[in-house]
Structure 1
Amino acid sequence: MTADTLLDVRGLRAGYLAPVLGPLSFALARGEVLGLCGPNGCGKSTLLAALLGNVRIFAGDIRRAPGAVFSLQTQRQPPVAGVPLTGAELLALTGAAAAGLPPALAACLPLRLDRLSGGQRQFLHLWACLQAPADVVLLDEPTNNLDPDGVAALAGALRARAAGGAGLLVVSHDAAFLAAACDRLLRLGGVDDAA
């Protein structure tokens, strides 16, 4: 691994009872946005779980930069009904800064999360993940629930976070978003991936 390499994945085969993806090899560097695309069930979310040690590794190796901190945004938002947590409190809990948040969403910070739209909550969760003090940011279908303005703002936020030195791994079915936001794409097809 070089000094700029945050992740070095070699010959990875991972899954649950049996491998879902692999063998797969790739590296992620500081300042890079890597997009992951492929059909449903090919192992994109499984790869994110493997990087965090949450699924079975059947073969291969995942090397992480020493001391690298990870941040993960999953497809499922935590339930917020009846929880008196505001947007500002969510950001404070994750160590994320509000600076740079699009003005329409900055106005939502004093509001309870259960009073926001699905898209507003999605963007605040994404912002919390992106702005948290992490070296590697993992995003799983981040454009879910976002309107076109939100998708454009997210693409800009990814580029800014990468410019700040983080490495980002983004899973999405949104080809236009991946083309706009990523430096390169890794296409997965499931077991027997070649990279």
Structure 2
Amino acid sequence: MAGDLLLRVAGLRAGYAGPVAGPLDFELRRGEIVGLAGPNGAGKSTLLKALWGGVRVFGGEVHKAPGLQISHQAQGFDDLRGVPLSGHDLLGLTGADPAGLPPWLAGRLGERLDRLSGGQLQFLRLWACLAAPADLVLLDEPTNNLDRAGVAHLADWLGRAHGGQGIVLVSHDHAFIDQVCTRVVEVGA
């Protein structure tokens, strides 16, 4: 694969017991943010999972740059009640640097994850992926549970700080996609 090309997807069809999404074609280079857009049920999240091996590939190809490191943020939360992990612990597990976290979250890193609000936990999970030492970041509905301040901070960071990574994201928030993505690929259109 050429120098800064991280990912080449050609004719990707993916699913579970059978194919439910695709075909999908695109290339991703360092510094690009590709948004997967389309109607509910078009298979955007399924195709995103296929990029890291989370679902079965039924056709097409996914070519990854040699040694590609992937960070993936999935929708939903695991039940963390009773799990004694702090924000510092989560960032440490992914190797994410806390520098750049918004002040409303940076001051709460010592707290247990099960004491954070849904929006705080969502932003921390995003940060654990975005600030990890990864070449490719996959984000599935990153604005879920975020308030306006969280969405604004995320959009600002994506707009200026991700230069060495390639990012693929799925979102129903069309304004967010238009604001942060360098390119949009329609799925199921």
Give the 5 Å matches for 1:122-141: 122-141=122-141
- Match of residue 179 from structure 1: 178
> 2:149 aligned with 1:149, yes or no?
yes
Q: AA paired with 1:55?
A: V
Which structure 1 residue ranges, 5 or more long, are not aligned?
Answer: none
Contact 2:86-2:113 within 8 A present in 1 as well: yes
- Match of residue 76 from structure 1: 76
Superposed CA deviations along residues 69-124 of structure 1, whole A, max 9, x for unmatched, are 00000002222111111111111111000101111110111111111110000000
TM-score by length of 2: 0.96
Separation of aligned partners in 1, 2:71 and 2:19: 24
Q: AA paired with 2:84?
A: P
Contact 1:33-1:162 within 8 A present in 2 as well: no
Separation of aligned partners in 2, 1:81 and 1:2: 46
The secondary structure found in structure 2 opposite 1:46 is helix
> 2:133 aligned with 1:109, yes or no?
no
Separation of aligned partners in 1, 2:56 and 2:121: 32
Q: AA paired with 1:96?
A: A
Separation of aligned partners in 2, 1:13 and 1:184: 21
Superposed CA deviations along residues 17-63 of structure 1, whole A, max 9, x for unmatched, are 22112222100110001111111211111111111122222211110
- Match of residue 168 from structure 1: 167
Q: Which moved more, 1:117-126 or 1:33-42?
A: 33-42
- Match of residue 4 from structure 2: 4
Separation of aligned partners in 2, 1:104 and 1:23: 41
Separation of aligned partners in 2, 1:160 and 1:80: 32
Give the ranges of 4+ consecutive aligned residues of structure 1 lying more than 6 Å apart after TM superposition: none
Separation of aligned partners in 2, 1:160 and 1:115: 31
Q: AA paired with 2:77?
A: Q
State the 1:160 CA deviation.
3.5
State the 1:161 CA deviation.
4.1
Q: AA paired with 1:185?
A: V
Which structure 2 residue ranges, 5 or more long, are not aligned?
Answer: none
- Match of residue 34 from structure 1: 34
Q: AA paired with 1:76?
A: G
Q: AA paired with 1:22?
A: G
Separation of aligned partners in 2, 1:97 and 1:157: 14
Separation of aligned partners in 1, 2:16 and 2:182: 30
Paired residues, number: 189
Contact 1:31-1:167 within 8 A present in 2 as well: yes
Separation of aligned partners in 2, 1:161 and 1:129: 14
Superposed CA deviations along residues 2-31 of structure 1, whole A, max 9, x for unmatched, are 111100011111112221122221001100
Separation of aligned partners in 2, 1:143 and 1:184: 18
